[in-house]
Amino acid sequence: MPELPEVEVTRRNLERWLRRKRLVRVELSPRLFVRSGAGSAGQFAAAMRGRTVRAVERRGKWLRLELDGELALFSHLGMTGKWVARAHDAPPERFERARLDSARRSVRYLDPRLFGTLAGARGDAAPAAWRALGPDALVDGVDPARLHARLLRIRRSIKEALLDQTILAGVGNIQAAEALWRARIHPLRAASSLSPSEARALAGAVEA
């Protein structure tokens, strides 16, 4: 599964490819699209056409493309999803699940195993998973005191707790394992057993 650094690279690529660009062609696969108040995949794709991408944001492992007209497209890469840039006349890719074309290039979303998510939203709406995310380990940093207070209430292992996106958004398996190794904390220890000093060491290790 893509970890926070890979998702951040994807965000920067999407920003470079699409920010301030008007979308002239939009296709969204209903197989990945989460139907909500924004309508079906086809309806939301039609609403996106002619809109300009104002910003590309990341929180945890989620991406958010903000468009004018108070529209937003949310994307989670799942295990095998990725966004790529292609020429307009390039044929459809195998496993292509979405297409966002500006006047200059075609941006495609590929996902062989269909574990990713695409969701449309209007106004301030957002998928429940986005709203439930905790502080972003890269953007917000890790507050040791807040982290320790959360861990005190968790009986699961500290490794499982670090992978809980409602506690720290964006931390994946590799980053969690490396942070625990640097902080010299066994991954199977109960999260609630960590002392304040261990929580401080872990917070620093996550940010390192």
* 174 contacts: CB under 8 Å, gap ≥ 6: 3
Q: Is 3 a residue of the active site?
A: yes
Considering Cα of 6, then 76, then 186, then 179, what sign does the dihedral take?
A: positive
8 A C-beta contact, residue 172 and residue 136 = no
Q: Are strands 71-76 and 96-101 parallel, antiparallel or unpaired?
A: unpaired
Which of 2, 27, 135, 198 is flagged as catalytic? 2
Q: Is 93 a residue of the active site?
A: no
User: Which DSSP string corresponds to 88-107?
Assistant: TTSPPPTTEEEEEE-SS-EE
Other CB atoms within a 10 A radius of the CB of residue 150 amount to: 19
Which of 3, 6, 66, 160 is flagged as catalytic? 3
What are the residue numbers of the active site?
Answer: 2-3
